[in-house]
């Protein structure tokens, strides 16, 4: 890693995150109902961090379990958000996080649930919320591919190409589109182009102990999906934990 991190620091991050989760749960009865979706989302983020820190410590089994917990919290965030709000801008983002954590956890049942939640997003969502529309289209495209609906997958990835882009996030958004289109079309070159842009975006993040800086989470998950479809890209990237891409 470019940022030198000791095992002690990683263990401290794990302990701190576990304490935050415990504190949040201990105050659960005092959380305002409309804030419950964001509370679950926060638990998902801290669980993801614990997973990443365990991964960097070489504790793959523990990492997979925390990725599962993260996916479950993000799923609860979606379910509670739909219960508390008629129109909820964060819906697609929470579905996306549930989807990718399920992929990293290798839990098929959680992935199935995450995709079911994705397919239940109201089709008018991108018109109501144009800012996250691109992410919604990408998630729909990839989910449709995984259930074998290739034509719908192609439709949604084309919609993603014309969705609103955000300054400073172009490499991430365009990289994600290219990689997912590569998976849909089973085109290794497109996947490589997407991986390059996603790597470039990640490399520009300031150095920190943040879990999504220490590991390129989105790219790692996409590589795992691609590998399962016989697109086994060999990337020399210090932010991709190769142990996650290895067969158990």
With respect to residue 2, please indicate whether it lies within any of the assigned structural domains. Answer: no
With respect to residue 60, please indicate whether it lies within any of the assigned structural domains. Answer: yes
With respect to residue 221, please indicate whether it lies within any of the assigned structural domains. Answer: yes
CB 138 within 8 A of CB 176: yes
C-alpha span between 48 and 88 (Å, rounded): 23
pLDDT of residue 3: 58
CA 58 to chain centre: 21
With respect to residue 1, please indicate whether it lies within any of the assigned structural domains. Answer: no
With respect to residue 200, please indicate whether it lies within any of the assigned structural domains. Answer: yes
pLDDT of residue 184: 98
The mean per-residue pLDDT over the stretch 218-245 comes to 93
For the domain that residue 40 is a member of, what is the CATH number? 1.25.40
Q: In the chain, how many domains are there?
A: 1
Nearest to 102 by CA among 145, 143, 72: 72
Model confidence at 197: pLDDT above 70:
yes
Residue 185 sits in which domain range? 7-245
Model confidence at 247: pLDDT above 80:
no
DSSP structure class, residue 164: P
Q: Summarize pLDDT for 10-50 with one digit per residue, the tens.
A: 999 999 999 999 999 999 999 999 999 999 999 999 999 99
Average pLDDT over the chain, rounded to an integer:
94
Which of 56-65, 206-215, 234-243 is predicted with the least confidence, judged by mean pLDDT?
206-215
pLDDT of residue 1: 46
pLDDT of residue 5: 83
With respect to residue 11, please indicate whether it lies within any of the assigned structural domains. Answer: yes
Which residue blocks in 91-162 are alpha helix, DSSP H?
A: 91-105, 108-119, 125-128, 133-146, 150-162
Q: What is the pTM of this model?
A: 0.95
With bands split at pLDDT 50, 70 and 90, how would you rate the model's confidence at 90?
very high
- SS3 string, 26-75, reads HCHHHCCHHHHHHHHHHHHHHHHHHHHHHHHCCCHHHHHHHHHHHHHHHH
């Amino acid at each position: 890693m470019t940022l030198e991190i000791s095992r002690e620091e990683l263990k401290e991050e794990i302990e701190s995150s576990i304490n935050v989760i415990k504190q949040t749960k201990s105050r659960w009865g005092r959380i305002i109902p409309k804030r419950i979706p964001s509370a679950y989302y926060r638990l998902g983020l801290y669980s993801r961090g614990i997973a990443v820190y365990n991964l960097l410590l070489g504790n793959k089994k523990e990492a997979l379990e925390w990725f599962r917990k993260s996916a479950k919290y993000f799923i609860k965030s979606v379910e509670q958000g739909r219960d508390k709000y008629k129109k909820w801008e964060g819906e697609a983002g929470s579905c996306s996080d549930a989807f990718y954590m399920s992929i990293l956890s290798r839990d098929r049942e959680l992935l199935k649930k995450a995709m079911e939640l994705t397919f239940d997003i109201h089709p008018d969502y991108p018109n109501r919320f144009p800012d996250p529309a691109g992410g919604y289209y990408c998630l729909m495209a990839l989910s449709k591919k995984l259930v074998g609906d290739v034509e719908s997958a192609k439709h949604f990835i084309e919609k993603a190409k014309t969705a609103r882009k955000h300054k400073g996030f172009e490499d991430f958004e365009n990289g994600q589109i290219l990689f997912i289109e590569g998976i849909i079309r089973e085109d290794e070159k497109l996947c490589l182009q997407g991986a390059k842009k996603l790597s470039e975006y990640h490399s520009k993040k300031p150095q920190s102990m943040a879990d999504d800086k220490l590991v390129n989470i989105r790219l790692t998950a996409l590589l795992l999906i691609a590998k399962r479809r016989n697109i086994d890209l060999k990337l020399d990237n210090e932010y991709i934990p190769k142990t996650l891409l290895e067969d158990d």
